[in-house]
Structure 1
């Protein structure tokens, strides 16, 4: 059914001036009350009258305008494009949910910013437009010193970068993906495996993380002159896994680190379908190790050995951000976000 009156105009939101008129007070009084600055300035009855007027009119303070007036808001920007979820999986989504909740309790709002950027400076400009109090660069193009300086000039008090190192002026959140690969490699080498395949996902999202994990396995293998490591390109499809399993006899591998549990489970099923036996014991068995320690991986048979990440509780990271905002002159430092260890099971 169509509206014969034509399209309806978007209603104009009520202003603080309207609240002031409705309550019979000045705009300054409205600002003090609704911004939590009324103590010692505005009486309790007047405060109640202003809040009642704001509720009756449906007035909500304009956070962006308030941020522009103050030069900085209460927004904490988490820079991570959509493919970050694919790269980090449940590890990322679980941390993000807890982190945003913890920020809210501290009076900040966490916003996930997923817009792609062609360069560090382009990313910094896009973020600075929102006047965030802090930026956490969780994934994507690495920032450089000019980009960090631009953010600081725009009023961002704290810039934190996830990675092995950060540019000048930024703090480092260290979750070393090379350690995940090194732990997997050490585990397999300790069990006598010397011909180790390492899955590199064909999808673009996990590419950077996969290269770091491959480097970690190679670092572990460097201590064993008879060991060799071979990258294995694998798309997240049954067809790709079946093709790799069919080529396995020519590869001559006795173990595989599957990048994460999803790719490891996919390849393990294809290898079993091709007649290979998966297991930690026996030279005729293929050892398979995943990462992320998903519940589903424990339900497989054999149960999947996995690299488990011990992540710093998100409440602590939110507290760190809040402390840095209170002390923006604090010198840049390395803040460890977590570590890795292997949870051994029957698969390898």
Structure 2
């Protein structure tokens, strides 16, 4: 026979706080339809903390008819502070709304396999970053398993899902247009060698290729290492290029330093522009030109998720969430 004490119950919390079990349930489940004074809420939370009481997730889900899990499938978190900060803010904002964010490693999973794996967790919402291509049938699978909202982030829409459209091609187009406006016609576009960034790099390259006025747009594979940047810089003269969009500010700073070490004048022989508008890019000399990406706040996206969960209608919507604007500085000629 086990000597472990029985775990505390909601009845224990109710006795210690001097309230009913229903009040304990309302407070700990953040029920909004019931008005409970703040002193009472505080007393219940303090009693639960003192006793070490944790609500039973399965029982709570059974009462509510769904879980509070928001699934964030990802095989690769996009590199760079811009997206990392956005995802962190999103998770905090969802937690404040009493959702549990679960990141799911989806490396190597196709749409059908991924949808079935995600559905096993019975999430109330799924936010797909676009790395796994979903079909309408995949969305239907998730909804049959209890997902009230399936939200996709990326350049494309999926029938049955709310689409948060983030047009990465616009980033590349803004960068290339900025270079063309400054007389650069032979443009290189850094394409990161790191796995998982194709979702961003491929449309950025396509956006640059779509800009009128260029003589050539050439993909430049480069890893995020000093050695790879140095190897590319050593070939600059033979490439015959006069400008480069370096994927983002981090790759741009790495390449710009390598070009300077190789004796390439910036912006004279090579105009350089990045993306994300990182503060450190303004501290370099020459100061780095960039494409400022106007992302939605995580708070706003969390609000969209919550609204979709509360009203899981068949009507799906498209939200254009990203805008881009070139910011000229010293690394491109004026």
TM-score band by shorter chain is 0.7 to 0.9
CA change 1:195–1:61 in 2 (3 A) is same
Match of residue 291 from structure 1: 275
TM-score, length of structure 1 as denominator length? 0.83
* Largest Rg, 1 or 2: 1
Q: Verify: 1:125 aligned to 2:119, yes or no.
A: no
CA distances 1:5-61 after superposition (whole Å, capped 9, x unpaired): xxx998764345766899999977865665466998x9xxx9999878745532210
RMSD: 3.3
**Which residue of the other structure, out of 125, 129, 133, is the alignment partner of 1:134?**
125
Unaligned 5+ segments in structure 2 are none
CA change 1:129–1:245 in 2 (3 A) is same
Match of residue 146 from structure 2: 155
CA–CA separation in structure 2 for the residues paired with 1:64 and 1:131: 11
**Which residue of the other structure, out of 229, 232, 235, is the alignment partner of 2:223?**
235
SS in 2 for 1:107: coil
CA change 1:181–1:15 in 2 (3 A) is same
How do residues 316-335 of structure 1 correspond to structure 2 at under 5 angstroms? Answer: 316-335=300-319
Note the C-alpha offset of 1:105. 3.3
Match of residue 177 from structure 1: 168
SS in 2 for 1:161: strand
Task: Tell me if structure 1 keeps the 8 A contact 2:291–2:324.
Answer: yes
SS in 1 for 2:323: strand
SS in 1 for 2:200: helix
**Which residue of the other structure, out of 240, 246, 250, is the alignment partner of 1:258?**
246
CA–CA separation in structure 2 for the residues paired with 1:331 and 1:9: 54
CA distances 1:190-228 after superposition (whole Å, capped 9, x unpaired): 1111100001111112122111100000011xx22x611
CA distances 1:176-199 after superposition (whole Å, capped 9, x unpaired): 000000000111111111100001
Note the C-alpha offset of 1:98. 2.0
Q: Verify: 1:84 aligned to 2:74, yes or no.
A: no
Match of residue 309 from structure 1: 293
Task: Tell me if structure 1 keeps the 8 A contact 2:90–2:301.
Answer: yes
Unaligned 5+ segments in structure 1 are 1-7
Match of residue 233 from structure 2: 245
Task: Tell me if structure 2 keeps the 8 A contact 1:169–1:332.
Answer: yes
CA distances 1:239-260 after superposition (whole Å, capped 9, x unpaired): 1111111111111000011001
CA change 1:11–1:249 in 2 (3 A) is farther
CA change 1:330–1:322 in 2 (3 A) is farther
Q: Verify: 1:110 aligned to 2:94, yes or no.
A: no
SS in 2 for 1:85: coil
TM-score, length of structure 2 as denominator length? 0.87
SS in 1 for 2:210: helix
**Which residue of the other structure, out of 150, 157, 161, is the alignment partner of 1:166?**
157
SS in 1 for 2:170: helix
The number of aligned residues is: 331
CA distances 1:265-318 after superposition (whole Å, capped 9, x unpaired): 111111111111001xxxx43100111111111111101101110112222222
How do residues 177-196 of structure 1 correspond to structure 2 at under 5 angstroms? Answer: 177-196=168-187
Note the C-alpha offset of 1:70. 3.2
Note the C-alpha offset of 1:330. 4.9
SS in 2 for 1:291: coil
CA–CA separation in structure 1 for the residues paired with 2:239 and 2:151: 42
Match of residue 3 from structure 1: none
Task: Tell me if structure 2 keeps the 8 A contact 1:180–1:307.
Answer: yes
Note the C-alpha offset of 1:128. 2.2
Q: Verify: 1:74 aligned to 2:68, yes or no.
A: yes
Task: Tell me if structure 2 keeps the 8 A contact 1:324–1:330.
Answer: no
Match of residue 53 from structure 2: 59
**Which one is further off, 71-80 or 303-312?**
71-80
CA change 1:120–1:12 in 2 (3 A) is farther
**Which one is further off, 47-56 or 311-320?**
47-56
